[in-house]
Amino acid sequence: MSLPNPAPIVRLIEAFRWSKTMFVAASFGIFDLLPATVADLASRLRVNADALERLLDGNVSLGLLERHGDTFHNLPVADAYLRNSSPDSLAGYILYSDRALYPMWGHLEDAVREGSHRWQQTFGSPGPIFDHFFRTEEAMRSFIMGMHGFGLITSPAVVRAFDLSGFRTIVDLGGATGHLTIAACELYPRMRGIVFDLDRVIPVAREITAQSAAAGRIECVAGDFFTADLPEGDLYAMGRILHDWSRPKIDLLLRRISDRLPEGGGLLLAERLLAEDRTGPLGAAMQSINMLICTEGKERTRSEYTELLLTAGFRDVRTAETGQPLDAILAIK
C-alpha cells in the first residue's frame, strides 16, 4: 500500500518561512528601493550583503521579485501591493501582520487552553488591542492604512453584492479611511456618505475621502459607535467590526443601529462567512482563529449572523459571497 503524498504537510511546515521572508523585505522597505543591486541595498540598509542576497532570492522564489545579474526588480504584483508609495499598497497590513499577529500566533497553544486573546501575554498590555495601534499618530496611521489597502480589494465587491440604489445616506460605522463609503458613493451617484470613527481617525479619513470623485457627497464625523449618538442615515454599514466583539457588545451595537434606522432602512455588513459546518472556507476558518488570538470575537456562519440580526429587530436578511476576502450581508429593518 503506497503512502499518501506528503506535499500538503511539507507545504504547511514551510509556510511560515514564506510569510516571514516577505514580511522582513517589507519591513526593510525593500520594495520601495528597487531596482537596485545587492551591494547598493546592503549599504543603504546597513545589513549583511550575503544575508540580504538570500532574502532577495527568497522573494524571487516567492514570485515577488525578479533578478537580472546583481540587480533585483519588483514584479508587477509587488509593485502594486508591496510598495508603501503605491495607492493600492498592502504594506501597512503586512507590517501589522509581522509586528502584531506573527508574535501573538506564537502563543496559539495558550489561547486554545484559556480561550482568550494573547495581547497581554505578547505585549504586556491588557488591551483592548486597538489601544496599542492608536498609541501614537504614526502607529495609528500605519494600522489604518493597512486596513485601507485591504479595503480597496474588498469594498467595491461588497457594495456591488446587492442593489443599494434605493438608499439615500450610508453611515459607515468604524469606517476608518472611508474606503467602503467611497466605493458606495462612487457606484451610486445619488448616495451621500458619512464616515463615522474615533476623533483621532477623522483627519486620515478626510485626507483619503478628499481624493474620491464623490468627495463632495462624503462627510467625516467623529464618535464612538458604542456610546455616541449615531448620525442619521437609512443605510448603516460596518466592515470587519462585528467579528471583533463578544455577543453582548454585538447585541448592544446592533440594537443601537436598529433603533436609529427608519422602517425599511438597511444594515450592510462586510465580514468573512463561515460555512454552516464551520470547516471552511480556509480564509474564514483561519481568521476565526486569528480573532481568538487578537480580540474577544470570532467569525460566524450565515445562520449565526441571521440570528443576531433578527434578534436586534431586522428582517429579510440576505447574504452574498463576493469572491473577495470579505462577503456581504444586508439586513432590512
Check residue 140 and give its pLDDT. Answer: 77
Task: Kindly state whether residues 75 and 144 are assigned to the same domain.
Answer: no
Q: Which of 56-60, 92-96, 109-113, 183-187 has the lowest mean pLDDT?
A: 92-96
DSSP 8-class letter at 326: S
pLDDT at 132 over 70: no
Task: Kindly state whether residues 197 and 67 are assigned to the same domain.
Answer: no
Task: Kindly state whether residues 72 and 137 are assigned to the same domain.
Answer: no
Final residue of a structural domain among 81, 115, 143 = 81
Residue 124: pLDDT band (50, 70, 90) is: confident
Contact 120, 296 (CB under 8 A): no
261, part of any domain: yes
pLDDT over 70, % of the chain: 97
pLDDT at 77 over 90: yes
pLDDT at 206 over 80: yes
Task: Kindly state whether residues 60 and 167 are assigned to the same domain.
Answer: no
pLDDT at 134 over 70: no
Task: Kindly state whether residues 16 and 149 are assigned to the same domain.
Answer: no
185, part of any domain: yes
In the predicted model, what is the mean pLDDT of residues 119-127? 82
Final residue of a structural domain among 81, 112, 143 = 81
CA within 13 Å, CB half, 115: 1
Which segments of the chain does DSSP mark as H helices, in order?
7-27, 30-33, 38-45, 49-61, 76-81, 91-96, 102-105, 108-114, 119-123, 129-133, 137-160, 179-187, 202-209, 247-260, 282-294, 302-311
Question: How do residues 302-331 score in pLDDT, each as one tens digit?
Answer: 999 999 999 999 999 999 999 999 999 999
Question: How do residues 135-185 score in pLDDT, each as one tens digit?
Answer: 777 777 877 887 888 899 999 999 999 999 999 999 999 999 999 999 999
119, part of any domain: no
**Which contacts of 303-306 are long-range, i.e. CB under 8 A and separated by 24 or more positions?**
303/276, 304/274, 305/242, 305/269, 305/271, 305/273, 305/329
113, part of any domain: no
110, part of any domain: no
Check residue 65 and give its pLDDT. Answer: 98
Residue type (1 letter), 36: A
Task: Kindly state whether residues 140 and 237 are assigned to the same domain.
Answer: yes
87, part of any domain: no
Check residue 186 and give its pLDDT. Answer: 98
CATH of the domain at 210: 3.40.50.150
Number of domain units in the chain:
2
Check residue 137 and give its pLDDT. Answer: 76
Task: Kindly state whether residues 173 and 314 are assigned to the same domain.
Answer: yes
Task: Kindly state whether residues 68 and 133 are assigned to the same domain.
Answer: no
DSSP 8-class letter at 144: H
Which segments of 200-246 does DSSP mark as H helices, in order?
202-209
Task: Kindly state whether residues 46 and 155 are assigned to the same domain.
Answer: no
Task: Kindly state whether residues 57 and 136 are assigned to the same domain.
Answer: no
- Domain of residue 35, residue span: 7-81
In the predicted model, what is the mean pLDDT of residues 203-222? 97
Q: Which of 59-63, 85-89, 166-170, 230-234 has the lowest mean pLDDT?
A: 85-89
Task: Kindly state whether residues 263 and 134 are assigned to the same domain.
Answer: yes
What is the C-alpha separation between 20 and 59, in angstroms, rounded?
10
In the predicted model, what is the mean pLDDT of residues 276-288? 96
What is the C-alpha separation between 260 and 164, in angstroms, rounded?
19
312, part of any domain: yes
Buried b (16+ CB within 10 A) or exposed e, 209-241: beebebbebbbbbebebeeeebbebbbbbbbbb
Query: Is the preceding omega at residue 35 within 30 degrees of 0, hence cis?
Result: yes
75, part of any domain: yes
Name the pTM for this structure: 0.92
Mean pLDDT of the chain: 94
What is the C-alpha separation between 95 and 278, in angstroms, rounded?
29
Residue type (1 letter), 54: R
Query: Is the preceding omega at residue 128 within 30 degrees of 0, hence cis?
Result: yes
Read out DSSP for 174-212? Answer: T-TT-HHHHHHHHH-TT-EEEEEE-TTTHHHHHHHHTTS
pLDDT at 286 over 80: yes
Which amino acids are annotated catalytic? 243
Task: Kindly state whether residues 137 and 76 are assigned to the same domain.
Answer: no
Contact 245, 253 (CB under 8 A): yes
DSSP 8-class letter at 306: H
Check residue 301 and give its pLDDT. Answer: 98
- How far lies 331's CA from each of 198, 205, 235, 254, 304, in Å? 25, 26, 10, 11, 13
Final residue of a structural domain among 81, 112, 138 = 81
Question: How do residues 220-247 score in pLDDT, each as one tens digit?
Answer: 999 999 999 999 999 999 999 999 999 9
CATH of the domain at 72: 1.10.10.10
pLDDT at 128 over 80: no
Q: Which of 88, 158, 109, 132 is nearest to 320 (CA)?
A: 158
Check residue 133 and give its pLDDT. Answer: 64
